[in-house]
Structure 1
């Protein structure tokens, strides 16, 4: 779908007014700003940005809080190489569509999240039915992968980096942006990558740093709406459904309590890390229920 059609679709979508954070995993623009403020407060590497051009500014958001950004995030190894290594060690298994991290058979705990595919729909999320979690998908159904399962104990930590003669680590870096998608009513992640010499990465090079099961399906090359830069983006069609399930698991598990909207971004970032595990932007600790912060 072209940027023009996406902009038209978003402009015709009514702005979500009533909170459905717990019921459907989505946010109002005001809740997006509130969750973003908490992220910036707890993690100073994140900051708010306004649109580079007034014409690109979204009226449902404050002019100086159009999107969140953190810059120069290290990426010390290729996700594609990590998957090859895991496969050779028997840590991966093929499911017909790609390589998936193999279940260890131990079962989940309060930190494990189950993702449920509720099917495709062309309708935008309904504001009139807060107890449901419909999923809207753009017209090319097969372009985006269903997000089925991830467990945070399967995330692989970084191992090595290129070392130059003066002992300074030279690694790929990323600028990570989070915008508000009015159509899907959730945050959306955008990534702009740079080589060890600070040259912009091509789309295929950036795909090397994403889990292969999502490349060109859930993770695609897009134009960032605020600057028109060519970046890769994680499509948000399943974000609301996934966040609903994660929040439900956190609140209903052993010792579960209340999750407040200010914690949304911390939970969201940990979920996104399952698709880009070697881009080390998330330095937050586990999210605690009961209204605590995501520190």
Structure 2
């Protein structure tokens, strides 16, 4: 039944996406959505600074005309998943809710203490380029709270700045996980995809999981790695927009 419902929803969104015009003018500053060109620019930034990510073209018959043929979606392989969600309940929390300047809303930094646990304080590592320092000074004196658009983001040279936090997380993820007994942990791995959702005009995350023997995970096994507050709700099994074959877990980009 769940599969049927998701298929119907997917078909309905597919029709809606077909009739949704391609976003031509940037609205990132106003609503946070991206044009295909902005998606490609952000993807180039990710690939440049995180070499584990790469562009992919997908199936020849499923190419999107509004994206470059060789830059249809982003892909990284073999991301380790050492524990199931229910096991995380017994561990020290890694998340921290970071409030916006107005104090009314916030966002969840899911690996805040994973990155900062060896630091003496919670200060974010400063980027060393003069360009970023100048932008930070401008932000401190900006009282209207406006977000920078993608064009100014590129003009200020932020695409050329090293993301220190991302580099640290990548280094830790690439290290070998060893159990207390000294044996190498047998872990699941995931291939992660980021596509451009034409209907929502935002990036969309997809996950394809494998067990220790590189055998694809079942639907129920995938849901073991998803918070039960989100499984089958904001994370469901959907058809990949660029690849034929089995359904993949996807995080809904709405809201």
TM bin, normalised by shorter chain, reads: 0.5 to 0.7
Q: 8 Å contact 1:113–1:150 — kept in the other structure?
A: no
* CA distance, structure 2, for counterparts of residue 80 and residue 155 of structure 1: 19
Q: 8 Å contact 2:96–2:109 — kept in the other structure?
A: no
Q: 2:249 aligns with which of 220, 232, 257?
A: 232
Q: 1:220 aligns with which of 221, 236, 241?
A: 236
Deviation at 1:152, TM superposition (A): 4.3
CA pair 154-210 structure 1, distance change in 2 beyond 3 A: farther
Q: 8 Å contact 1:77–1:161 — kept in the other structure?
A: no
Q: 1:31 aligns with which of 35, 38, 42?
A: 38
CA pair 102-233 structure 1, distance change in 2 beyond 3 A: same
Deviation at 1:156, TM superposition (A): 6.4
Q: Residue 17 of structure 1 aligns with which residue?
A: 24
CA pair 154-38 structure 1, distance change in 2 beyond 3 A: closer
Deviation at 1:46, TM superposition (A): 0.3
Normalised by the size of structure 1, how large is the TM-score? Answer: 0.55
**2:56 counterpart of 1:49:** yes
Q: Residue 108 of structure 2 aligns with which residue?
A: 150
Deviation at 1:114, TM superposition (A): 3.1
CA pair 154-47 structure 1, distance change in 2 beyond 3 A: closer
* CA distance, structure 1, for counterparts of residue 113 and residue 64 of structure 2: 35
CA pair 151-200 structure 1, distance change in 2 beyond 3 A: same
Q: Residue 207 of structure 1 aligns with which residue?
A: 223
**2:190 counterpart of 1:174:** yes
Q: Residue 114 of structure 1 aligns with which residue?
A: 105
Q: 8 Å contact 1:80–1:210 — kept in the other structure?
A: no
Q: 2:74 aligns with which of 64, 68, 73?
A: 68
* CA distance, structure 1, for counterparts of residue 12 and residue 187 of structure 2: 37
Deviation at 1:153, TM superposition (A): 6.3
* CA distance, structure 2, for counterparts of residue 15 and residue 223 of structure 1: 21
* CA distance, structure 2, for counterparts of residue 203 and residue 162 of structure 1: 28
Q: 8 Å contact 1:48–1:64 — kept in the other structure?
A: yes
Q: 8 Å contact 1:67–1:179 — kept in the other structure?
A: yes
CA pair 194-31 structure 1, distance change in 2 beyond 3 A: same
* CA distance, structure 1, for counterparts of residue 51 and residue 235 of structure 2: 27
* CA distance, structure 2, for counterparts of residue 8 and residue 75 of structure 1: 35
Report the aligned-residue RMSD: 3.2
Q: Residue 147 of structure 2 aligns with which residue?
A: none
Larger radius of gyration: 2
Q: 8 Å contact 1:219–1:232 — kept in the other structure?
A: yes
Q: 8 Å contact 2:79–2:189 — kept in the other structure?
A: yes
Q: 8 Å contact 1:190–1:232 — kept in the other structure?
A: yes
